[in-house]
């Protein structure tokens, strides 16, 4: 029997502990206020456990707090946090000014339970799996609170949406990034993450933000701090009323990301620096396009921005139509991307993303046009909310970067065409994702039987990719038609999995073989901090597609989506492999998923092999699921032909004549004829 090793604290484990802490506060606080109690305790414990992170006066040490009687804890915590802030004004200024544990938690017993809950935690770097465990766990905690409380959801943008916006604007090391409605800090976090994932350093990114809601600002600022991101300046303020200024002018940034509140009211007379609204003023009951114009105003001439807005922005008339006209005619709109419904935590309506450019407008090869992407189906349905997942982000970003027409998904539209539609940007006007209509019923086939070859032949390549020839499914009937086999179309459809089995197994074998060829790459970089490079990921993606696409079963989007999903789901495993080698992965699996390692003794060599096998098995399992779905689509296609053409009018007439003859014979036998 193996000894159970206690590994470092993982994100999942800490998030569970934070959720348990929230349960202790249920009844005493509203869900949106949980963070105002839990985050300060995390900061206090982290500062005490990790030497050098902050300057910690004796009054703010965790050991000083826990030594007091429960009735004294509220005041002791208040003084500890105020002292910590006073000693670290550059990082914590203003954060704990409004903290009052006596007011928030009047029950000494509840506060004692919270202190006892956090006391055993060891939050030094040596005890954490990764340096950003606290931040990621707290961010996950904020997400769960937002899902449970509509008011909290207003300030929390799903991290996949934040990731999508960061991928669209591509911040670079050395640039400045701004979020005018910073909320819980997700946009700025993802901008930093993007730079880090593309071989840069988040320390080389200057992050700025504004947030008008004090509680949201508090959570967002602490979220950034707990992620270890220090070069930030997020202030309390309304970006429309009081924009950030520099030398008396509206401050400009290289990149801007925003998910403003939908259809918010505003007062025109209160808007500061009104020159920002150069394209016009919307009705006071709807500030959507005011936020868009604010983003346009803060972009440097060569800057790029992305804003999440409700669909009404695309087609509402009056003043909003004129604003759209000005933005489009000045070449400031690069793309309109529709995302599916029920993705955001505080609303079920679908939304869209506007990709915007600074005053220089679009780059030369894109001038005079805009890209429309209809990604309304790029979501995974869930019980409470739909989810935008890595494979969906991958497809949207690939399409945006590719800037070409993709039937039923993306289309490059000229400004002249948009003008001809009165600057209406309704995505479905340009890209309709509804299934293509079936061809008109072939009258001859419906009357006399057979299936039109013009319907069969276009599907031949897809059947052929699975090793199925159309002659396996039909028998000839002249030059323009084919007949179903004598066994009947339903029996033939049932044999399609058998006919496809050899090539299906071969494809899955090739995916496994591809992984075997990549294992040495993962082994070489294990423990070297060289796994998370854009070059390596690009190499994996290219070779994966090069090996499997020629077989024709899955296309590039399906393959890259599967790889992106796999990478995302195993990101912590891969980070452990990157930083601590195979032993790090084994440690985390023994703590979180012991079933992956089985019950036998794990040696160095067997542990390495098991890690690689488990990772490869999961990737191949994803490929297998996609292949099965593609094969099933062939079965459904064949059955649809049967539903349309298996029974002709001539068949019905023959059945009628046979039935009539039987009836006539029966009547005669009974003496009625």
pLDDT for 371-388, tens place per residue? Answer: 999 999 998 887 778 889
Q: What residues pair up with 271 in beta bridges, in sequence order?
A: none
CA distance 211 to 425: 29
**312-340 tens-digit pLDDT:** 999 999 999 999 999 999 999 999 999 98
More confident residue, 327 or 200: 327
Reading the block at residue 579, the tokens are: 């930083």
Q: What is the largest CA-CA distance in the chain?
A: 114
Interatomic CA distance for residues 453 and 473, integer angstroms? 12
d(CA 59, CA 84): 8
The b-or-e profile of 85-101 (16+ CB within 10 A means b, else e) is bebbeebbeebbeebeb
Contact 143/149 with Cβ under 8 angstroms?
A: no
How far is residue 584's CA from residue 576's CA, in Å, rounded to a whole number? 5
Q: Is pLDDT above 70 for 6?
A: no
pLDDT in tens, 418-453: 999 999 999 999 998 776 666 776 666 666 677 899
> Residue for token digits 């004004």?
89
Q: How far apart are CA 289 and CA 311, in angstroms?
A: 11
pLDDT mean across residues, the chain: 90
Q: Give the model's pLDDT for residue 2.
A: 39
Beta bridge partners of 352: 309, 338
3-class DSSP assignment, residue 357: strand
Q: Are strands 253-258 and 299-310 parallel, antiparallel or unpaired?
A: parallel
Which pLDDT value is given to residue 1? 32
What is the structure's pLDDT at 150?
61
Residues in the chain: 673
What confidence score (pLDDT) does residue 3 get? Answer: 39
Q: Please, which pLDDT band fits residue 585 given cuts at 50, 70 and 90?
A: very high
Q: Please report, in angstroms and rounded to a whole number, the separation of the first and last CA atoms in the chain.
A: 89
| Closest to 559 measured CA to CA, from 622, 650, 635, 634 | 622
What sign has the CA pseudo-torsion 42, 48, 53, 59? positive
Is 209 exposed, middle or buried, given 0-12, 13-18 or 19+ CB atoms closer than 10 A? buried
Concatenated DSSP letters for 179-225? ETT-TTSHHHHHHHHHHHHTT--GGG-EEEEEES-HHHHHHHHHHHH
The span from the CA of 140 to the CA of 23, in Å, is 15
Per the DSSP assignment, residues forming a β-bridge with 355 are 306, 335
Percent pLDDT > 90 in the chain is 72
CB 415 within 8 A of CB 368: yes
pLDDT band at 4 (very low <50, low <70, confident <90, very high): very low
- pTM beyond 0.85: yes
- Cβ neighbours around 170 below 10 Å, total: 15
The mean pLDDT value for 443-464 works out to 83
What element of type H or E holds 339? strand 333-339
Decide if pLDDT at 51 tops 90.
Answer: yes
Strands 249-250 and 245-246: antiparallel
Angle at 65 (CA atoms; ends 63, 71), nearest 5 degrees: 145
The helix/strand/coil state of 60 is: helix
């Amino acid at each position: 029997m193996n000894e159970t090793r206690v590994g470092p604290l993982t994100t999942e484990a800490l998030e569970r502990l934070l959720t348990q802490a929230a349960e202790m506060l249920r009844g005493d606080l509203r869900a949106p206020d949980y963070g105002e109690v839990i985050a300060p305790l995390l900061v206090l414990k982290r500062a005490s456990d990790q030497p050098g992170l902050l300057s910690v006066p004796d009054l703010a040490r965790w050991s000083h707090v826990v030594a007091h009687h429960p009735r004294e804890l509220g005041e002791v915590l208040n003084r500890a946090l105020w002292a910590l802030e006073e000693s670290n004004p550059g990082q914590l200024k203003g954060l704990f000014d409004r903290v009052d544990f006596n007011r928030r938690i009047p029950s000494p017993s509840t506060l004692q339970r919270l202190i006892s809950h956090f006391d055993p935690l060891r939050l030094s770097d040596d005890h954490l799996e990764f340096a950003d465990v606290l931040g990621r766990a707290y961010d996950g905690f904020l997400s769960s609170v937002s899902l449970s409380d509509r008011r909290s959801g207003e300030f929390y943008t799903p991290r996949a949406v934040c990731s999508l916006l960061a991928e669209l604007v591509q911040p670079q090391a050395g640039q400045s990034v701004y979020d005018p409605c910073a909320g819980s800090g997700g946009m700025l976090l993802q901008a930093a993450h993007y730079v880090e994932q593309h071989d840069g350093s988040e320390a080389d990114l200057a992050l700025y933000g504004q947030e008008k809601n004090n509680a949201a600002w508090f959570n967002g600022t602490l979220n950034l701090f707990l992620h270890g991101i220090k070069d930030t300046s997020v202030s309390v303020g309304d970006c429309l009323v009081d924009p950030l200024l520099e030398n008396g002018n509206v401050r400009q940034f290289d990149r801007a990301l925003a998910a403003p509140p939908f259809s918010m009211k505003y007062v025109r007379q209160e808007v500061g620096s009104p020159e920002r609204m150069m394209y016009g003023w919307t009705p006071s009951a709807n500030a959507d396009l005011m936020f868009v114009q604010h983003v346009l105003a803060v972009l440097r001439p060569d800057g790029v921005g992305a804003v999440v807005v409700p669909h009404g922005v695309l087609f509402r008339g009056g003043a909003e139509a004129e604003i759209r006209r000005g933005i489009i005619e000045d070449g400031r709109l690069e793309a309109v991307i529709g995302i599916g419904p029920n993705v955001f935590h505080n609303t079920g309506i679908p939304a869209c993303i506007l990709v915007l450019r600074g005053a220089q407008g679009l780059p030369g090869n894109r001038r005079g046009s805009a890209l429309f992407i209809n990604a309304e189906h790029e979501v995974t349905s869930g019980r409470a909310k739909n989810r935008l997942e890595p494979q969906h982000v991958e497809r949207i970003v690939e399409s945006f970067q590719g800037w070409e027409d993709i039937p039923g998904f993306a289309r490059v539209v000229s400004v002249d065409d948009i003008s001809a539609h009165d600057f209406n940007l309704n995505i479905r006007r340009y890209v309709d994702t509804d299934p293509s209509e079936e061809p008109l019923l072939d009258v001859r086939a419906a009357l006399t039987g057979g299936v039109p070859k013009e319907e069969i032949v276009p599907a031949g390549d897809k059947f052929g990719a699975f090793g199925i020839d159309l002659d396996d499914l039909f028998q000839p009937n002249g030059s323009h038609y084919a007949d179903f086999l004598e066994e009947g179309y339903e029996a033939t459809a049932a044999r399609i999995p058998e006919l496809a089995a050899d090539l299906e197994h071969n494809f899955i074998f090739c995916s496994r073989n591809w992984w075997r060829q990549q294992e040495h790459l993962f082994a070489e970089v294990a423990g070297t901090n060289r796994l998370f490079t854009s070059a390596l990921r690009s190499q994996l993606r290219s070779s994966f597609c090069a090996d499997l696409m020629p077989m024709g079963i899955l296309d590039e989007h399906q393959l890259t989506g599967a790889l992106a999903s796999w990478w995302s789901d195993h990101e912590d495993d891969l980070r452990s492999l990157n930083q601590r080698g195979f032993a790090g992965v084994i440690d985390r699996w023994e703590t979180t998923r012991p079933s992956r390692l089985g019950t036998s003794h794990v040696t160095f060599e067997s542990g390495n092999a098991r890690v690689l096998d488990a990772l490869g098995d999961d990737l191949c399992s994803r490929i297998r699921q996609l292949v099965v779905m593609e094969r099933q689509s062939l079965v459904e296609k064949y059955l649809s032909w049967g539903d349309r053409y298996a029974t002709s009018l001539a068949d019905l007439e023959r059945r009628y004549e046979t039935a009539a003859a039987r009836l006539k014979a029966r009547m005669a036998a009974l003496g009625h004829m």
